[in-house]
Amino acid sequence: MILVGLTGSIGMGKSATARMFAAEGVPTYDADAAVHALYGKDGDAVSPIGEAFPEAIHDGTVDRAALSAAVLNNPAAFKKLESIIHPLVGAVQLKWLEEQIKAGADMVVLDIPLLFETGGEARVDKVVVVSAPAGLQRKRVLERRGMSVEKFEAILAKQVPDADKRARADFVIDTSKGFEEAASQVRAVIAEIRAKSAN
């Protein structure tokens, strides 16, 4: 089974691209969805996060906005959060991969926003980076509800620069020309990976 790591900086269109892989029948693991489940009611992250960041727990769930405020511009707090969440996410991902192996999948996509930042590229066979020009990225992100220039820049500062990601990628999907074009690139990537693995 070929493991494809899908990543990209904030606002590049990674989530939409992940859905394109899924639409082509490639099982796709969503790290963000896994985190949402861990943060939700009775999620495995609620108790340990509550001990470290009590202000981030509301009604038995993790309040992402409150948690974000607690770790923003605080590297020690962010490191603490990572030490809690990464092992939990890893366990969920492993269980999902075991299910795909049993189902006989020939290829899966792991949608992981911080793939390079967490050394995840070493655990996949191919890396696909979703990219777009910086001006378009900025426009997309600042249109999001609750986003500010300061918050956007703080998020960017924690992410490996887009140019570095592209340089380290096996494939780059450019989302600046619209969804049809991006979907066509996704199909080409899937075909190329399958063709190379068949040789």
Reported as a single tens digit per residue, the pLDDT across 40-66 is 998 999 999 999 999 999 999 999 999
The domain that holds 182 is classified in CATH as: 3.40.50.300
Q: 112 and 198, same structural domain?
A: yes
pTM score, whole prediction = 0.84
Q: Please give the distance of CA 66 from its chain centroid, rounded to a whole number.
A: 21
* Residue 50 burial (CB count, 10 A): 14
Contact 58, 122 (CB under 8 A): no
Give me the domain span that covers residue 21. 1-27+106-199
Least confident of 4-13, 86-95, 159-168: 86-95
pLDDT of 173 reads: 98
DSSP letter string, 112-129:
-TTTTTTTGGGG-SEEEE
pLDDT digits (tens, 9 = 90+) for 67-104: 988 998 888 999 999 899 989 988 999 999 999 999 99
Q: How far apart are CA 95 and CA 88, in angstroms?
A: 11
Domain end (from 104, 124, 158):
104
Phi, psi dihedrals of residue 160, rounded to the nearest 5° = -60, 135
Q: Please give the distance of CA 22 from its chain centroid, rounded to a whole number.
A: 15
pLDDT digits (tens, 9 = 90+) for 174-185: 999 998 999 999
Q: 131 and 49, same structural domain?
A: no
Strands (E), 36-106: 57-58, 61-62
Domain end (from 104, 119, 139):
104
* Band of pLDDT at residue 169, cut at 50, 70 and 90: very high
Q: Is 49 exposed, middle or buried (0-12, 13-18, 19+ CB in 10 A)?
A: buried
Domain end (from 64, 81, 104):
104
Q: How far apart are CA 196 and CA 44, in angstroms?
A: 39
Q: 147 and 64, same structural domain?
A: no
The number of folded domains in the chain is: 2
